[in-house]
Amino acid sequence: MDALLAALADPARRRLVSLLAERPRPVGVLARLADARQPQTTKHLQTLERAGIVTSQRTGQRRIYALRPGPLRELAAALSRLADAADQVGGPHTTYDRYGLGVHTERLAAQEPGWADDRSFTFHRSLAGRPELVWRHLTETALLARWWTPDDLRVCELVFEARPGGRIVQEYRDAEDIGDSDPVAGRAEGVVVDVSPGERLAYRLSPLLPDGRLAFTAHIDIDLRPTGAGTDLDVRWRMTDSAVESADFVAGIEIGFGQSLDKLASTLAAAPHDDTNGTDTNGTDTNGTDTDSAGRADGTARTDTRSAT
């Protein structure tokens, strides 16, 4: 395919292909119709022939060139598959387009500080697993790192001290930026407000603008209720302190946090639901004590998740 695309990259060669699509033609006629010199036309035809797009045969003193439609059909099919993949309903490109529309709308609305204050969002998910297990995924950093970003991002640093007044830090990168070659995609800092294990969690979290100022402050309240099939999770998200420059962040809240909760639901659906005691596979015990690579426990839920992700 590379040779095919390279051969078709030249406008003069594409013109020859168009002429040969009508009927086989000799070099001299092709040169005249393409308004080109015959030696140049011959070189272009030879390139097309090496790529398999055209074929030729000598008839008396003339060489006649003809188009081979098979390679073009194969190229068209390959390009069509790429287009179909990008056009998949509900796929990444759909999310990208939806976010773009949201950014445009929010930028128009962001005219002065406080423009989005008291904007609120609600989320609900019915989750597999008992509230104790869900609570661990909400408060233990090794488990938080598995789901607490949208689909195209990954946590690269995470601090979550699950106690009133505890510190929160969330830093994330593109999911495919394993070598940290691109700038950090975002960073947020906050504080835990209320903790009722297995029942309620409240915290404040503020995404940071590139200059370090707060984009806004999100006041997040999470309630857990046991059900016969697992746990109902209800999230209330309210904003204050919104800066004019926060429009791009605001546009992504509903999409991004919704994707994160979907990842939480998938993670719990695949988890051993009876594992509410002991130590999980990331070395975190159920009391919220993280053990670092040296085997040291500090009694907090703080970690750098570079190795966890």
Q: Looking at residues 138-158, what average pLDDT do you find?
A: 93
How much is the pTM? 0.69
* 110, 247 Cβ separation under 8 angstroms: yes
pLDDT surpasses 80 at 231: yes
pLDDT surpasses 50 at 225: yes
Which pLDDT tens digit goes with each residue over 159-176?
999 999 999 999 999 988
Give the model's pLDDT for residue 308. Answer: 35
Least confident of 20-34, 131-145, 215-229, 279-293: 279-293
**Chain mean pLDDT for the chain:** 87
Q: Looking at residues 24-48, what average pLDDT do you find?
A: 95
Which pLDDT tens digit goes with each residue over 288-304?
334 333 333 333 444 44
Residue whose tokens read 């509903």: 254
Give the model's pLDDT for residue 59. Answer: 85
Give the full edge-to-edge strand order of the sheet including 302-303: 120-128, 230-240, 217-226, 200-207, 186-196, 167-174, 153-160, 302-303
Which pLDDT tens digit goes with each residue over 255-287?
999 999 999 999 999 875 544 444 443 333 433
Name the amino acid, one letter, at 55: T
Which of 101-105, 200-204, 210-214, 226-230 is modeled with the greatest confidence? 200-204
* 93, 86 Cβ separation under 8 angstroms: yes
Q: How confident is the model at residue 18 (pLDDT cuts 50, 70, 90)?
A: very high
pLDDT surpasses 70 at 306: no
Query: For residue 142, which of 164, 168, 127, 160 has the smallest C-alpha distance?
Result: 160
Residue whose tokens read 């099919």: 77
Give the model's pLDDT for residue 180. Answer: 79
Q: How confident is the model at residue 65 (pLDDT cuts 50, 70, 90)?
A: very high
